[in-house]
Amino acid sequence: MWRPESSPLDPGFLPGDRVILHADCNSYFASVESIDHPEYKLVPMAVCGDPELRHGIILAKNELAKAYHIQTAETIYSAKKKCPDLLLVSAHHEKYVAVCERINAIYEGYTDLVERFSIDESFLDVTGSRHLFGAGRQIADELRRRVREEIGVTISVGVSFNKTFAKMGSDYKKPDATTVISRDNYRELLWPLPIGELLFVGKSVAAVLRDHGILTIGDLAEAAPRSLSAFLGKMGLHLQRSARGEDLSPVLPTGYEEQPKSISHNVTFDHDLVDPSEIMAGLTLISDHVGTRLRRKKLFASVVQIQIKDTSLKVTNRQKKLDEYTCSTRLIRDTAVNLLRENWPVGKPIRMLSVGVTGLSLDGAQQLSMFTDTAAADRARRLDDAVDSIRSKFGKEAVRFGRNLNRNE
């Protein structure tokens, strides 16, 4: 029987391990420039902001220029001193973006979990794709071949059971190479490297680690956690987990946005609100804003909060847990109105009102209370849908609830 989690395809990986690729284009800008100008490959060449400017800097260089020890970010002046015949080419950023799209489209043919790390680097989680395309190494080799043949750019690919090691794998050997960092070889390949080579160890953190006798990635992996946290706090422990291959961070699909913990909106009024109908209109307007954002993010909320500022700028906060998850403007508004009625004396002037929602979930449908009036909820949802779609066609101002207010947002 086929069991996806116990694939024998990837030697040195445990059953249940993720298989993550990091694909990194080699000398990306220089390679893209060479697609239309193959002659650039025959001479030392560098891409720079503006070759007319002697103060410009080197953005990328080809393999032949690397032999002259030309560095990214060094000045053109200094590069020309190292290699007087260096061919300088202006950067074409639109081209780099367009080629980046085509390369990622190839990656996306192998998994929907492709996270763009930069214009020339992407992480791919291929754990679930191996029954279609083979082992991690095989997919990596195929990507290298396809990007080389179809785009004309070479890539280096790291294959590992976590993102940190996959990224270090793509750096390990280049150009046009696949490096597998498995549970069998990571101590041998990565632990002897200087501490500054670990992902997210910047210059200043590397200096602190070296001051404490931690010179290699292996030293960090084997350091006593207590002493690490004494001089680097939580970050020290986090980096140690990375060095041990315990980086559990997921590969996030393109366009992924972290889910917010709360959504709120407030309005400071240009005159103090006293009239209940004005207060009602204010709460309606603000709740509408919150509901629209909630639905746009496809989220549901289980708690409604209000904040009221009086004329002496004293702030009152109140909140209510709902019986159900909702994204309905009307339910948010009704809850906010009730909270205000229960907690604010009639006639007391209001300077600022805020409505917020929290207790957010991506899945409201499964958590609806058994006692919900489904017909009423359905009507409210259809009203919200209609408002959202009219606004998306005709703009935000096309639908307004209740009375208009003069306000400063």
Min CB(58)–Mg ion separation in Å: 14
Would you give the distance in Å from CA 46 to the centre of its chain?
31
For the chain, the farthest-separated pair of C-alpha atoms sits apart, in whole angstroms, at 82
Q: Report the run of H or E that residue 317 belongs to, with start and end.
A: strand 315-326
Q: Taking a C-beta distance cutoff of 8 angstroms, is the pair 263, 357 a contact?
A: yes
| Region near Mg ion per CB under 5 A, out of 16-24, 99-107, 129-137, 139-147 | 16-24
Choose between 10 and 24: whose C-beta lies nearer to Mg ion. Answer: 24
Closest distance between Mg ion and the C-beta of residue 60, in Å?
9
Q: How far apart are CA 242 and CA 248, in angstroms?
A: 9
Contact 266, 307 (CB under 8 A): yes
When binding is defined by CB under 5 A, the residue of 33, 120, 219, 384 that contacts Mg ion is: 120
Residue 298 Cβ, how far from Mg ion at the closest point, in Å? 34
Strands 350-358 and 301-309: antiparallel
Residue 51 CB, shortest distance to Mg ion, in Å, is 22
Q: In the complex with Mg ion, which residue's Cβ is closer, 61 or 330?
A: 61
- Helix, strand, or coil here: 318? strand
> 83 to 102, contacts with Mg ion by CB under 5 A?
none
If the CB atoms of residues 25 and 87 are measured against Mg ion, the closer one turns out to be 25
Our answer to whether residue 52 is catalytic in this structure is: no
Q: Encoding tokens for residue 156?
A: 């280096």
By beta-carbon proximity to Mg ion, the closer residue of 24 and 115 is 24
Q: Which is nearer to Mg ion, 25 or 79 (CB)?
A: 25
Q: Which residues pair with 330 in a beta bridge?
A: none
52, 121, 150, 397: the catalytic one is 121
Region binding Mg ion by CB under 5 A among candidate stretches 18-26, 249-257, 287-295, 395-403:
18-26
Q: Is 17 in the site for Mg ion (CB under 5 A)?
A: no
Number of residues that bind Mg ion (CB under 5 A): 3
Kindly give, in sequence order, each residue whose CB lies less than 8 Å from that of residue 161, ignoring residues fewer than 6 positions away.
Answer: 13, 14, 17, 18, 19, 20, 182, 183, 245
Stretch that binds Mg ion, among 4-12, 21-29, 55-63, 393-401 (CB under 5 A): 21-29
Which listed range, 17-25, 52-60, 72-80, 133-141, lies at the site for Mg ion (CB under 5 A)? 17-25
156 neighbors 24 (Cβ within 8 angstroms): yes
Question: Which member of 10, 21, 23, 24 binds Mg ion (CB under 5 A)?
Answer: 24
- Which residues are CB-contacts of 52 (< 8 A; sequence separation ≥ 6)? none
List Cβ neighbours of 241 (8 Å cut-off, separation of 6 or more). 247
Give the interface with Mg ion as residue ranges (CB under 5 A).
Answer: 24-25, 120
Catalytic residues: 121
